Amino acid sequence: MPDSPRQQILLGFHAVRARLKTEATSIQSVLIDRDRQDARLKALSAELKALGCPVSLESGRQLDRLAKGQRHQGVLALADYRDPGLRYEDLLDGQGFMVFLDGVTDPHNLGAVLRTAEASGARAVVAPKDHSAPLNEVAVRVSAGASETLPYLQVTNLVRAIEQAQDKGYWALAFADEAAESFYAQSLAEQPHLLIFGSEDRGIRRLVREQADVQVGLPMMGSVSSLNVSVACGVACYEMLRQRQEKQNQV
């Protein structure tokens, strides 16, 4: 177990390999299931040794204990916590888009959102410090390496953070099931945007909704009334990417 808040556990191949690419020196040690002999683990072990990372062969039970029952694929790393070294204000340069999460507390959802947001070109994922999922070992594993390159920033006041971005020219879209406007009717190619998503049970808080420039929804054509937040985020991020690429191709 990490013995300091400045340490973390990285679970699985994606998380360990991503850290090797971004900051290999932050890895203190890597534990590998000694009973697994597959080529994938052998290749990773050789790569780690070539980089000078300490590797320890342990029982599967020991890895399960350190991973607290979470899936680890036979490999986990003990590493220094990486501070993004970035302030929210540093991102407000009028470029691209960011994803905002309000009340999303499940680290699995956070990890999935990070993965999609990073893949589609988002600048960051932003959430309030209170009542939000931590960037723990579960979120890092589910993000499949995205947490190593995409900033996850937690701010004191989400409404104020939205207002700061709007002052810099960002257009804030709040996703709500009851919204009258369709997300697909929005023009996304020109202006920098904030895409704001709430928790599945409560949605976006009233003050956050009211601060947004417009409330939008995704069309639901079947019997279900809503999407998982990470799925909705994926739909929105890739529509953002589609429109922006289409605009670039027209130039």
pLDDT tens for 147-183 read 888 999 999 999 999 999 999 999 999 999 889 899 9
pLDDT score recorded for residue 3: 47
pLDDT tens for 51-69 read 888 888 888 888 888 888 7
125's CB contacts (< 8 A; 6+ apart) are: 98, 99, 100, 101, 110, 113, 114, 117, 150, 151, 152, 153
Average pLDDT over residues 83-92: 83
User: Which sign, positive or negative, has the C-alpha torsion 18, 21, 26, 28?
Assistant: positive
How far apart are the C-alpha atoms of 10 and 16, rounded to whole Å? 6
pLDDT tens for 202-246 read 899 999 999 999 999 999 898 887 899 999 999 999 999 999 999
How far apart are the C-alpha atoms of 139 and 42, rounded to whole Å? 26
Average pLDDT, the chain: 89
Main-chain dihedrals φ then ψ at residue 39, nearest 5 degrees? -65, -35
How far apart are the C-alpha atoms of 31 and 76, rounded to whole Å? 5
How far apart are the C-alpha atoms of 88 and 103, rounded to whole Å? 19
Helix then strand then coil, in percent of the chain rounded to 5, is 40, 20, 35
3-state DSSP assignment of residue 89: helix
pLDDT tens for 28-51 read 888 888 888 788 888 888 888 888
